[in-house]
Amino acid sequence: GAGVSQSPSNKVTEKGKDVELRCDPISGHTALYWYRQSLGQGLEFLIYFQGNSAPDKSGLPSDRFSAERTGGSVSTLTIQRTQQEDSAVYLCASSFRETLGGIYGYTFGSGTRLTVV
Amino acid sequence: QQQVKQSPQSLIVQKGGISIINCAYENTAFDYFPWYQQFPGKGPALLIAIRPDVSEKKEGRFTISFNKSAKQFSLHIMDSQPGDSATYFCAASGRDTGRRALTFGSGTRLQVQP
């Protein structure tokens, strides 16, 4: 597609439920990132996928968070047993693979606003 | 080592004025410094970026100034317009992060008054 597509755009869930957030990156982009943006805050790195390499999960805040990327394209971020502190906007970004000069700018999706009640 | 500190948290500028947002970093391995602009309800969008081999980069009304020795960089918005009202994030990345993920500043909310 022309841009990074995320769905749903908004999600309200009850505490303790599991949620799945989807990201469809730009075609041809091999790098995919998930970030979390809490209200009025900066962007917190969660996880990184690059091609067929093992993902970098170092930013995941707890084992309730997991993500996968199927076929090197679509990614799903799953949050199990959601808590109120998980409420945030979850942003996905994709980029061309790293070059010798370093990675180029991300293209972000519009995010999924997750509210845990 | 990975932190990027951004200031001010918020900024109000009159139309036609100059908006200046500053960032500082600690990790000397950072070699890519982008700025992102975010409007409400949208994801951040790349505005302008610089590498440490130059001290300044200009694109239209937007200029990045980079001071490698001080480990600081700033965004200048000339002739600020109401349409520039948004949240601005500085960021940095470097080869030693492995994943090449960006480390973001905490953001500056800019309001340009007509």
C-alpha span between A57 and A45 (Å, rounded): 9
d(CA A110, CA B85): 18
Residue with the two structure tokens 């990675």: A103
Secondary structure, 3-state, A38-84:
CCCCCEEEEEEEECCCCCECCCCCCCCEEEEECCCCCEEEEECCCCH
Cα within 13 Å of Cα(B48), Cβ side: 18
Distance in angstroms (rounded) separating the CA atoms of residues A103 and A67 = 22
Which residues on A lie below 8 Å from B98 (Cβ)?
56
Give Cβ neighbours of residue B89 (< 8 Å, ≥ 6 apart). Answer: A42, A43, B6, B35, B36, B38, B44, B104, B105, B107, B108
Cβ contacts from A onto B, under 8 A: 61
> Mutate which of B6, B100, B106, B109 to test chain A, going by most A C-beta atoms within 10 A?
B100
- Find where tokens 């969660």 sit: A46
For residue A100, what pLDDT is reported?
42
Distances (CA, A) of A9 to A103, A114, B21, B97: 27, 9, 30, 30
Q: What percent of chain A has pLDDT over 70?
A: 91
pLDDT digits (tens), chain B, 114 positions: 568 999 999 999 999 999 999 999 998 888 889 999 999 989 999 999 998 889 999 999 999 999 999 999 999 999 999 999 999 999 998 866 555 678 899 999 999 999
Determine, for residues A102 and B43 on separate chains, whether the beta-carbon distance falls below 8 Å.
no
3-state secondary structure of B83: helix
* CA gap B76, B103 in Å, rounded: 20
Closest CA of chain A from B29, distance in Å: 12
Supply A52's token pair: 């067929």
pLDDT in tens, A46-102: 999 988 788 889 899 999 999 999 887 899 999 999 999 999 999 999 987 655 444
If one counts every other C-beta atom within 10 angstroms of the C-beta of residue A70, the result is 8
Per residue in A7-60, pLDDT tens?
Answer: 999 999 999 999 999 999 998 888 899 999 987 778 999 999 988 788 889 899
The CB density around residue B16, as the number of other CB atoms within 10 Å, is: 11
Place of tokens 């109120």: A84
Quote the CA–CA distance of B68 and A89 in Å, as a whole number. 33
